[in-house]
């Protein structure tokens, strides 16, 4: 597991509070604005940052993230620039964990070994590759583990007791619980369903659990924050920031974190 991820969750445990994990897409709406947003996130309250790797076909994401990826790509984003963005962030912040989230195709196109080497030297702490199941992730997981980069696996409402051990075997950093079926930014999950699922995961693993895909509002987060896990609430940041960019221009990004 990344030392930064371990240190951050240990600190959160000592403070007896849940993590606030933010999401932005690298290069959206343009490289300069995206770089400034990334730099501001820790001071705005982010405990962990999820940085989206732009891709032409983000099948697990809803319209908001799909549009963000397309804008970023249109503005010239690519994997090399995404990793440079992380390296630039590390010049001023050596504490906040950064998780790259996305799909395997851009990693494969970059070259797995080259990607892991560059990600490690840039200061990446973890990877969430949503279309890479445990049975097929050894090509990435093994070199990533050697480089100290966590492979963060996903569990879903359909991950039963027979499947869960396979998901947990080789997982590191934390486990991402996808609380609703479908794409990001759509329906909200029921607290009781999430609580039952997370309780079952905690019985099988000591990994922290992050909840995503159905956590859209402060009310959703408030319902989870007192549980023995780390709620994940990333999607609203983009939805709230984007209208302000459109109204005030790309050089006036505003972050709302609470």
> Mind telling me the catalytic residues?
50, 61
Structure tokens at 211: 């909840």
Report helix angle 235-248 to 63-74, nearest 10: 50
The values of phi and psi at residue 221, to 5°, are: -65, -40
Distance between CA 85 and CA 234 in Å, rounded? 19
Distance between CA 244 and CA 65 in Å, rounded? 17
* Span between the terminal Cα atoms of the chain, in Å: 29
Question: Under a CB-based contact definition with an 8 Å cutoff, are residues 150 and 119 in contact?
Answer: no
- Closest by CA position to 234, among listed 211, 209, 201, 254: 211
């Amino acid at each position: 597991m990344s030392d930064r991820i371990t240190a951050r969750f240990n600190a959160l445990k000592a403070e007896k509070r849940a993590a606030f994990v933010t999401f932005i897409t690298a290069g959206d709406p343009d490289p300069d604005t995206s770089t400034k947003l990334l730099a501001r996130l820790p001071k705005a309250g982010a405990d962990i940052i999820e940085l989206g790797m732009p891709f032409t076909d983000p099948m697990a994401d809803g319209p908001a993230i799909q549009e963000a990826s397309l804008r970023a790509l249109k503005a010239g984003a690519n994997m090399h620039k995404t990793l440079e963005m992380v390296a630039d962030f590390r010049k001023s912040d050596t504490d906040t964990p950064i998780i790259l989230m996305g799909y395997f195709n851009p990693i494969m196109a970059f070259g797995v070994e080259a990607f892991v080497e560059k990600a490690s030297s840039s200061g990446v702490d973890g990877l969430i590759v949503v279309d890479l199941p445990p049975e097929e992730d050894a090509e990435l997981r093994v070199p990533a583990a050697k480089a100290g980069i966590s492979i963060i696996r996903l569990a879903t409402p359909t991950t039963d007791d027979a499947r869960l051990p396979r998901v947990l075997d080789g997982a590191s950093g934390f486990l991402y619980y996808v609380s609703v079926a479908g794409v990001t930014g759509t329906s909200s999950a029921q607290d009781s369903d999430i609580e039952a699922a997370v309780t079952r995961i905690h019985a099988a693993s000591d990994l922290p659990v992050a909840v995503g895909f159905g956590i859209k509002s402060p009310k959703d987060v408030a319902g989870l924050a007192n549980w023995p896990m780390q709620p994940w609430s990333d999607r609203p940041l983009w939805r709230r920031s984007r209208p302000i960019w459109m109204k005030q221009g790309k050089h006036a990004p505003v972050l709302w974190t609470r």
